[in-house]
A = this chain, B = another copy of it.
Amino acid sequence: MRTVNVGLIGLGTVGSGVVEIFDRHAADFRTRAGVDIAITRFADRNADRAEGLGLPEGAFTTDAAEIIADPEVDIVVELIGGTGVARGIVLDALAAGKSVVTANKALMATHGQEVMDAAAAHGVDIAFEASVGGGIPIISPLKHCLVSNEITTVMGIVNGTTNYMLTRMAQNGLDYETALAEAQAKGFAEADPTADVDGHDAAAKIAILASIAFNSRVSIGDVPVEGIRSLSPGDIAYATEMGYAIKLLAIAHRTDEGIDIRVHPTMIPVAHPLASVNGVYNAIYVIGDAVGETMFFGEGAGSLPAASAVVGDVIEVARHITRGCLGLVGCTCNEELPVRDIGQLESSYYVRLHIVDEPGVLAAVAKVFGDHGVSLASVIQKTDEAPTAEIVYVTHRATERAVRAAIDQISVMPIVESVGTMLRVEEL
């Protein structure tokens, strides 16, 4: 049995998890998966990271280019992240005839087509299961098990940081700032939480999932995104009262007018399978025309879960190398579906306002919705601190364009103190 040699670039959180899994199970890969795999080269710009990992003498370098130039290396594992240096490393490795395994969501969501084309051109594999949902198998199930379906929906909770925060806000009444501070203290959120709380991380992941599910390339720039900063415990309390959970959902639907894709805090019925996914867990919910509803649940981040997916990909690529069938499944984006403008979205909307508490105000605001063709399903008024009151409107199905136009007009009415949260409702 020939040994498949792996060069591992990036020894951070996920990289050290990959080293740990190989330490535990490399012998099992031989018996269980029929492949002999060894990590022979390691690179990181920070030499300190090699300390303590027990790497073989001389296997470490601070220069990733050395690994790409090494003729003995069959598979390059890129765990640097980002679209700068990492892009060059991945493209160079592919050009050198090496297969690549990456956890890099930003790269795949931004330069996915370029990377897939390069892999195809050089007859090698590119695998990126870890780029979405940490250790949860989702890319492979979409490309293999569910390939006989026309997928109509792929949506999910794909950011553990914000799901942890929203869970704490819902279950324990924490406000946004307190939930964030706690997530940071527990290591679930970065010092700069922007990528998580503003939804950019989720946007990259849904772009990747939609591209595979709908066989049509979607890039991160195509994804309208709203984060969770403006959510208040009050919004969550209203949602609970109405039988909904609020989750930061990454949503993609195949529609007759193109791909409807977006990331935003969303009200979903408590009976929806995604509604009970709490804490740092992730879950991706998929509807196919044959399979019906499915959901894939697990830990969406962390060293070992993400490394589980990376090493799963490495073993799969190694199988292909030993059997001479690299490139078995390449890019599957053979359609060119348009991405629908979010203004065309039809949904129910939840809108929370602070208004001056005087007679006729409620009717005046309702009239603006009506003028824009938006009919109201319910209104809840709670007196805040006089002289203002908080009002929550829930609309019947209306277009985003109409609702936004109504809100724009409402927000400049003298009787309106402020427009708080606007949430879309995703029904079962």
Asked if B307 and A290 make an inter-chain contact with CB atoms under 8 angstroms apart, the answer reads yes
On whether the beta carbons of B135 and A292 are closer than 8 Å, the reply is yes
Q: Give the CA-CA distance A365 to B156 in the complex, in Å.
A: 51
Given A137-B141, A294-B135, are A148 and B312 also a contact pair (CB < 8 Å)?
yes
Which of B144, B149, B294 contacts A316 (CB under 8 A)? Answer: B144
**In the complex, what's the smallest C-beta–C-beta distance from A341 to chain B, in angstroms?**
26
Residue A334 CB within 8 A of the other chain: yes
Chain B residue, CB-CB nearest to A273: B297
- Assembled-state Cα–Cα distance A276/B273 (Å): 8
Most buried by B among A290, A292, A294, A319: A290
Check: A32 CB closer than 8 A to any chain B CB.
yes
User: Quick one: which of B140, B281, B290, B328 contacts A21, CB cutoff 8 A?
Assistant: B290
Task: Report the nearest B residue to A324, measured CB to CB.
Answer: B325
Interface of A is mostly: mixed
A31 → chain B, closest Cβ, in Å?
5
Report B-chain residues with C-beta under 8 Å of the C-beta of A90: none
Q: Are A305 and B328 in contact (CB under 8 A)?
A: no
Complex copy number for this chain: 2
Interface size bracket, A side: 35 or more
Report A302-326 residues with CB < 8 Å from chain B CB: 302, 304-305, 307-309, 311-312, 314-316, 319-320, 323-325
Q: Digitize A107-135: 1 where CB-to-B-CB distance is under 8 Å, 0 elsewhere.
A: 00000000000000000000001000001
A25's partner among B137, B148, B292, B330 (CB-CB below 8 A) is B148
Residues of B within 8 A of A135 (CB): 146, 288, 290-292, 294
Residues of B within 8 A of A344 (CB): none
Are A145 and B140 within 8 A (Cβ)?
A: yes
* 20 residue pairs bridging A and B, Cβ less than 8 Å apart: A31-B335, A32-B332, A34-B330, A129-B145, A135-B291, A136-B294, A137-B137, A140-B144, A144-B312, A144-B315, A147-B312, A148-B315, A281-B293, A291-B309, A292-B302, A292-B304, A293-B297, A319-B329, A320-B328, A324-B324
Beyond the given A25-B149, A294-B297, A319-B328, please list 17 additional residue pairs across the A-B interface where CB-CB is below 8 A.
Answer: A32-B147, A32-B215, A32-B332, A33-B147, A135-B292, A135-B294, A137-B145, A141-B141, A144-B315, A146-B308, A147-B315, A281-B293, A290-B308, A290-B311, A292-B298, A293-B299, A325-B328
